[in-house]
Structure 1
Amino acid sequence: MSAVVAAALRFALVALVLAFLLVPDAFAPLLAPFAPPGGAAIYDRASLLALTVSHLLIVVAAIVPAVAISVGLAILVSRPIGAEFLPLSRAIVNIGQTFPPVAVLALAVPVVGFGAWPTLIALFLYGLLPVFENALAGLTGVPPAVAEAARGSGMTGPQRLLQVELPLALPVILEGVRISLVIALSTATIGSTVAAKGLGEVIIAGLNSNNLAFVLQGGLLTGALAVILYDGLGQVARLTARRG
């Protein structure tokens, strides 16, 4: 029964977000009490759907290379030949956690200019550490008996990695991706301060005009997307764990 309820709640949340993005004016009566007198209840300076798509595209464009590099580094340092590079790899993936996102944006703007690129750089750096640590934990946590059985069956090193170690580590790696994705989704809102298109534009417009309705719809949309993506990847992780 709990699984049915959970599925119903997921469907309801996705349907609610889609309805708000496709017909936002239908929700104006709910948000009107939070708008200033004479102010708009629904953000109308740009399409909410277009801003949401742009927001998600920036997040994906930053997280995909972060995952690829983090998993690659984890594979390298989990091999005997690359074990000595573990401290260096940890130092590299910790760079993003050393500076706050605003500082990364401030440093990136003079180099790459305004727009999406400073936000991409900040999200990429922030996405490295969770994926790296989870990938390393997953790869080094493969049971020795399983690894020895694969070796005894005549598998080469690359075959063991692709057919045994990575499939077994995948659920743990996906947990790291989930964390990075949620961090990136929320952090991407500050990208609007450097002219990156996203839901942060709605929040900033609300703060500038003292319009709580704008702040609520930007914040709630970001939070709902984070819940949907986090839950979706959780389902994928559980499915891969069962298959493993």
Structure 2
Amino acid sequence: MEAFGIEPSAVKLSDRMFAPLFYVTQTGGTAATWDYLNKSADDQRHCRETILNLCHGGETPAIVFLLTPPYEAGNIFTPFPNVINPANLDKAVDAILECLWDGIAVIPCLYTDDKMPWWYEIEKHTETWNCISDRISGYCSGICLSIESNEQTTGVGMLQHKIMQAKVCFDGLPVGTHLCWKGAGKSGYRWQDTASTPSNADFILVEFSWHPKDGDKKGVSAVQSEMLMIQAALPGRKLLFHEYNMNPGGEIMGAQRELLRSYKPWGVG
């Protein structure tokens, strides 16, 4: 997709960004950006319009979506990792370009948290990710390793090693990961302080310690207290407060989002 022969490049991230996870659908329901590549062209358009409409001045609009598992991410692979579907990869690239034309930064997420393929096996997938990188790296503002990567890790060193592998595959793009605050992993790991945070993560997508379906029950005060706790524990880190309420049309989530914005973190969802 080109306009006047000029192809867009990756959107440069500013000091503040806006990347909502949950949003209101055209029929009044709730959807998430994770499966953006599975959505129809019309639903993708609505998603982009929603991001832009909710974005404030001074914020870079952004979207985070999955590249695997295939059935949740446009079936780029049939199957993963051995077969790349060229037609579906072309569709994914077109979907990325649509975001760029709208000024929306693109941050693909390589893996999900509870289904194969697994982020901790990224070394087995390097050839595949190198091929994907050749097609999309020039359009991406960063890469997210995995949703809720704390669940499967045995320690912070494991996370750091896999983040480095992703950086190698994706030409040195900024790489972060999604973590649940106080979320447990294996062998006693828990994300709760600087020592348990991967030092080479360029950014962290933060899920609050409760399930987002409980976001309304938690209210504004719980978001405020936990956000302040996380910021105090991780000074100087780029934090995108991404997942805290899955009732995007509700007044409570709107108030929670504005509360987060008032503290001017690197990112708000």
Instruction: Settle same-fold status: TM greater than 0.5.
Output: no
TM-score range, shorter chain: under 0.3
Say which one has the larger Rg: 1
TM-score, scaled to structure 2: 0.23
Name the structure with the higher helix share. Answer: 1
